[in-house]
Amino acid sequence: MKTKSTSFRVRFPVFLFVTQLVIVALYAAFVTYDEHADARFQNNRTNPMDNTVYRYYPVFTDIQFMIFIGFGCLLAFFRFYGFGGMVFNFLTATFAIQWAILVQGYFQFSHEGKIHLGLINLIYAEFACAVVLISFGAVLGKTSPLQLLVMALLEVPVFVVTEWFVLKYLKINDAGGSILIHLFACYFGLGVTFVLYRPCLNEGHAKETTSYHSDILSVMGTLFLWVFWPSFNSALTLNGDDQHRAILHTFLGLSASTLTAFALSVMLNKNGKITMADVQNVTLAGGVTVGASVDMMISPAAAYALGVIGCTACMLGYKYLSPFLARRFRIQDQCGIHNLHGLTGLISCAAGICAILMANEEIYGPSLYEIFTHRAPVEGDPKLQELQMLIPGLQPGLGRTAREQALFQVAAVFSTIGVSALGGILTGFVLKLPYLAPPSDDFCFDDELFFDVPPDYDSPLKFNNTITSEDSAA
């Protein structure tokens, strides 16, 4: 124990100092301001509303809240791993955002050899960070902070390259990130946990438990995520009616999944009571299931139905699929990310494909070609000129049919799952290196290994044991 503690004392700070030196050097060499943050392009006559900060900052703060407080509290549900859940979330998120700004900047925001940094870059980087934090959920309590940082270091480039390829070459519609965020994060995390399989944990762990206070803290995280999820789903949609629909659909999906979760929790509990794990996770399913079609004209009733369907799949996944995967396929999914992000992400993708197949001008009017930009007529098509009279600034598209666009969505789903799972497996092999100070089975789900814990951190356990002994004696 002392040797491992000593090695961690050296390796962890060295990793952070070295990576920070490299990152600041890369920022100095390649990062500059974009036109909305550069004083050379602003003056006293500039209309403040022409600066993107007024459009993006409210959404940015909402997503910040989700990343650092929502995820942080949600991951603090283990009784003896509250520090680890919240603090390692804080650590990993900060590192992932820093790194994503560079990697995404190279692929999406690079001009003339420089990455042009603005608020929109931070939002994209926080989406990449959300991917890492979702994957983190699969290995919660079983990894060292050094392993988590290396996972972020490797996952961000794999995600960014996948995102770049899918958006540039497959050219899909995925406003809420069901394919590129939820599916990618889920199957990457499952790939990692498959390689880091611990046979002893299948029989349970003495500290793999919750407490009254840890469950309350975790539900607070759920509530924060629930409240701000409409901002997450609508952040990058078109201004106006698209963004408006995204907010409405997300709220309806979340409300439907919440009420369904309470009903199913009681129904499936043999004692007829509410299970806190269901409240913490299953209530959020609707936010994922509406993601792929969140800006489309799917109707309020469909958004509600998607919330119900996603919640049901998520609940059944927690009850039956997760234990089966752990038993038969060596997948110890600690936070059930396959249920909340994988199953619901697949349902969302199927709904999005159906919505694309049904989309036509009768439903959308000319704005069909703004929402589904790749279905717009090609350059030189007389119809494009007619549409540009109705929608000034409409860009030429690829002239895809609804069926062609749907097939590209299917291709994106399978390619994303394949790349993310392979990336997760390879990352898992890297994380198994002893240099990264993985905790032993005995110290999983335990803050004491990496933190100076207060004297009473395990007092609930001692208190319970004391009560039990007294009751027995009586």
DSSP 440: P
Q: How far apart are CA 448 and CA 350, in angstroms?
A: 44
Q: How far apart are CA 404 and CA 400, in angstroms?
A: 6
The contacts of residue 129 (CB under 8 Å, 6+ apart) are 67, 93, 96, 97, 100
Query: Which pLDDT value is given to residue 200?
Result: 87
Query: Which pLDDT value is given to residue 457?
Result: 76
- HEC string of 213-228? HHHHHHHHHHHHHHHH
pLDDT at 438 over 70: yes
CB 311 within 8 A of CB 282: yes
Per-residue pLDDT band at 4 (split at 50, 70, 90): low
Per-residue pLDDT band at 469 (split at 50, 70, 90): very low
- % of the chain surpassing 70 pLDDT: 95
Nearest to residue 254, comparing CAs of 276, 225, 277?
225
Q: Which residues pair with 111 in a beta bridge?
A: 114
Tens-place pLDDT, residues 385-431: 999 888 888 999 999 999 999 999 999 999 999 999 999 999 999 99
**Degrees, nearest 5: CA angle 239-242-247:** 100
Per-residue pLDDT band at 272 (split at 50, 70, 90): very high
pLDDT at 278 over 50: yes
The contacts of residue 46 (CB under 8 Å, 6+ apart) are none
How many CB atoms are closer than 10 A to CB 330? Answer: 15
Q: How far apart are CA 444 and CA 127, in angstroms?
A: 28
Q: Does an H or E element contain 114, and which? A: strand 114-117
Query: Which pLDDT value is given to residue 137?
Result: 96
Tens-place pLDDT, residues 191-231: 999 999 999 888 888 888 999 999 999 999 999 999 999 99
Q: What is the mean pLDDT of the chain?
A: 92
pLDDT at 472 over 50: no
How many CB atoms are closer than 10 A to CB 415? Answer: 16
Amino acid at 422: L
Q: How far apart are CA 403 and CA 141, in angstroms?
A: 44
Tens-place pLDDT, residues 26-51: 999 999 999 989 888 877 677 777 78
Q: What is the largest CA-CA distance in the chain?
A: 91
Amino acid at 268: L
Q: How far apart are CA 391 and CA 382, in angstroms?
A: 14
Query: Which pLDDT value is given to residue 458?
Result: 72
Domains of the chain with CATH codes: 2-40+58-460 (1.10.3430.10)
The contacts of residue 373 (CB under 8 Å, 6+ apart) are 395, 397
Distances (CA, A) of 297 to 243, 259, 351, 353, 442: 12, 24, 12, 13, 52
Q: Name the region of 437 (left: φ>0; alpha: ψ -120 to 50; beta: rest).
A: left
